[in-house]
Structure formats: C-alpha cells, structure tokens
Amino acid sequence: MTLGEAGRSERQALVNRILASPQFAHAYSLRRILEYLVKRTEESAEGPPKEYHIHVEAIGRPESFDPKADPIIRVSIASIRERLKTYFENEGHDERLRLSIPKGQYRAVFEAAGQASLRAPLPGGIRERFWAPYFNSSSPNILVYTEVLFFRDDKGNYVRNIFVNDRASGANELPGRGLPVDPAALRPSFHFVPAGEMHSLLLIQRAFNELRLPLDIRNSRFFSWQEMEGANLILLGSSRTNPFLHSLQGTEPFLITEDSIVNTAPKPGEPGVCRGRHFFEGELERGIEYALLTRRPGIQPGSSITLIAGNHGRAIEGAGQFLAREDRLSTLFDAMGLAPQQPVPAHFQALLRVDLIDYVEEVVHVELVSLRVVA
C-alpha cells in the first residue's frame, strides 16, 4: 500500500483510534494539539504552524503570551511523540498507517507502515500476568473509589480542606485551617469525586472489559468490611479519604500519610519522604506528584488486594495510566527480574513519579522510581 492509496477517511479513522487509546483518552491538551496538527496538515497549504499558533489556536492561550517564557508546546509535543510510539508498539502495531511528529517540526506525518517498519508487539499477556489473581471466577472483583468531603451552606457555597474528612467534626475544624466560615451554617456534602481518581477508575474498568473480567464498582461510603470477604479488591484514594486503604496498609516498606509517601527503609540514594511539589518553568506551571501501587494478599486466603494511593488525584490518574500501558507494566516486570510468563509476586510495592504540566495539571509522564518485593 502506498500513502496515496490511503484516503483522508482512513487517516481520520487512524487518528480516532489513537485518540481513543489509553495513551490519549484523558490527555485533553495533548489530544487538542495532535488534532490541530493533523487538521493543519490535511487542510492548510501554509506549511507547519509556528509554536505561537499552536498556543493560540489549539489550546486557547491569549494572543499576548510569550512562547519563549512558556514551553508547554515543546513539553507537550515530546509527550505526544512518546505516546504515539507507545501506541504503535502496542495496540496499534498492526495498523497499515503510521502517524508521527518529526523531531524539530510541528507537523503530522502519515506513512505507510511497510513490513520493515512494523515493530513487533511486546510479549503477550503482560496485562493478563499483572491481573492474574483477578481471573479467579469464584471470587468477585470489586473496585472501591472515594468521594471527598465538602461542606456547603444554604447559598450554594461549597468549601473543602483536604485535611478535613470527618463529617461529624469537620465543620468545626475549618476555621482553624484558615477558612473564614461559620461552622453552624455548614452541612456535609459528598457530591464530588476527584477527577484524576475517576480517570484511573475508567482506565482500569476499560482494561478489565478488554480482558473479559467482571468488575463491580463501589463507593467507599457504602461499602463494608463484611463485603470484602473473599473478594479481590482494587482500592483507590488516599489514607485521608479511603478508610479501607488506610487500614490495609499494614507495616509496608512504603506508607502513605496525609501529605507524603514515607520510605521506611530507604536504599542508598532514595529519599525517606516523597512529597509533591509544584513550580514554574518560565510561565509554565509544572508539578511532580507520587503514587503508591501496592499488591498484597487479601483478607481471605486466595484473594488479592491492589491499592492505588496518592495524595493528589492526578497522581492516582498517573498510576491508572501506568497500569493501562503494557510498555509501562513491562518496566515493572523488568525491575522485578521476571522471566517470561513468570507470575507477578503476591506482595510488592511500586513507587511512581507522575509529572504534570499547566494549570489543568495534565499527566504527561509516569515512571517507576522504586520497587519493593515483600517476602
């Protein structure tokens, strides 16, 4: 097949599949930039856009901004290239077309795959191996997410402090946290789920659907210890908001506290405490958060628990992206020294670093930074 034989509809169908993949499904600004570059390539005779035009026309920056002081496009394009590479190495390895953004250029390039350019897929069964305990048909698979506690008044105002999560006494704590509110006028409200946590939930649910595994989704406020009996669990949230996650941490090498992840026995070169931090690179806001992935035996013999914890919703989203991508899971397997088809240890912890950009705190990169296999 030559590129000329591939019509616009085929190219657009490829773009649609890429945008629906785990690499781009929840990366909203990256999606907009990629769609803009494809449209510009398909419809404009003016040549590749300048960085300024991508800022203004693709992601809606004001016309007065200075590209030299705000490197969001350069950071975003690098992430798009990485995600396109991952797509074609995984679920897209059989695509007849390839889409790329050449280095040093801001344009979308479609090429016929050709036999020589096809990359072999990663070894099969990577996700199946990770989720192997959840294939036990005699045990239900249950994912438990969290709603965060807000307080509201009669005028439609909602207030929250991330360290206040007790509905009984929380309103009285708010003034001490610096919020100028009248506790007597407030009532607890559980109408909000962290966006990053929900994105992680959707990625995990999608993976289970593709693996043809049942998964029951439950709210931690309406879940009980009794319902856990014999179940394979996936718990999302933080130790502040998910009481089951908090209680099931045990005496692990890594522990999540209300504002950090503590390394109880750091190896040489490892920090004892990991806290998220935010900073500016020129005018671009950037962030680094951490997520903790724990797999441990369940409460009943033969069951398993996976805890996906973080003190920031986007950290939990990053962990979900890590689990959705076979190339990322393969780095976990490599760090464990697993031979092909060797089962994943029943008890381990993985500390993940999640890089964020812009005021929307979009996840642009996730990597494994430390691992513990618990005997």
Domains of the chain, by residue range, sit at: 3-117, 126-147+194-373, 148-192
Tokens for 246, please give them.
């908090």
In the three-class reduction of DSSP (H, G, I as helix; E, B as strand; rest coil), residue 17 is classed as helix
Torsions phi, psi of 24, nearest 5? -125, -10
Q: Tell me, what's the pLDDT at 2?
A: 44
Tens place of pLDDT per residue across the chain (375 aa)? 444 545 888 888 899 999 988 888 888 888 889 999 998 888 766 777 888 888 788 877 777 767 677 788 888 888 899 889 888 887 888 888 999 998 888 889 999 887 544 444 444 589 999 999 999 877 899 999 999 999 999 999 999 999 998 888 889 999 999 988 999 999 999 888 999 999 999 999 999 998 889 999 999 999 999 888 889 999 999 999 999 999 998 789 999 999 999 999 999 999 999 999 999 988 889 999 999 999 999 988 889 999 999 999 999 999 999 998 888 999 999 999 999 888 999 999 999 999 999 888 999 999 999 999 997
Question: HSE-up of 335 (CA within 13 Å, CB side)?
Answer: 18
In the three-class reduction of DSSP (H, G, I as helix; E, B as strand; rest coil), residue 274 is classed as strand
What CA–CA distance (Å, rounded) separates 70 from 91? 33
Element (H, E) at 192: strand 187-192
Name every residue whose Cβ is closer than 8 Å to that of residue 358 and which is 6 or more positions away in sequence. Answer: 29, 72, 284, 285
Q: Give bridge partners of residue 15 from the DSSP assignment.
A: none
Q: Tell me, what's the pLDDT at 22?
A: 82
Name every residue whose Cβ is closer than 8 Å to that of residue 13 and which is 6 or more positions away in sequence. Answer: none
Q: Give the predicted TM-score (pTM) of the model.
A: 0.79
Q: Tell me, what's the pLDDT at 1?
A: 43
CA-to-CA separations, 104 to 48, 61, 71, 110, 140, in angstroms, rounded: 11, 22, 14, 16, 50
What CA–CA distance (Å, rounded) separates 184 from 199? 35
Q: Tell me, what's the pLDDT at 115?
A: 52
What CA–CA distance (Å, rounded) separates 149 from 190? 5
Q: Tell me, what's the pLDDT at 175?
A: 92
Tokens for 4, please give them.
């000329």
Contact 327, 122 (CB under 8 A): yes
DSSP string for residues in 197-258: HHHHHHHHHHHHHHTT---EEEEGGG--TGGGTT-EEEEEE-TTT-HHHHHT--S-SEEE-S
Q: Tell me, what's the pLDDT at 172?
A: 92
What CA–CA distance (Å, rounded) separates 37 from 43? 10
In the three-class reduction of DSSP (H, G, I as helix; E, B as strand; rest coil), residue 291 is classed as strand
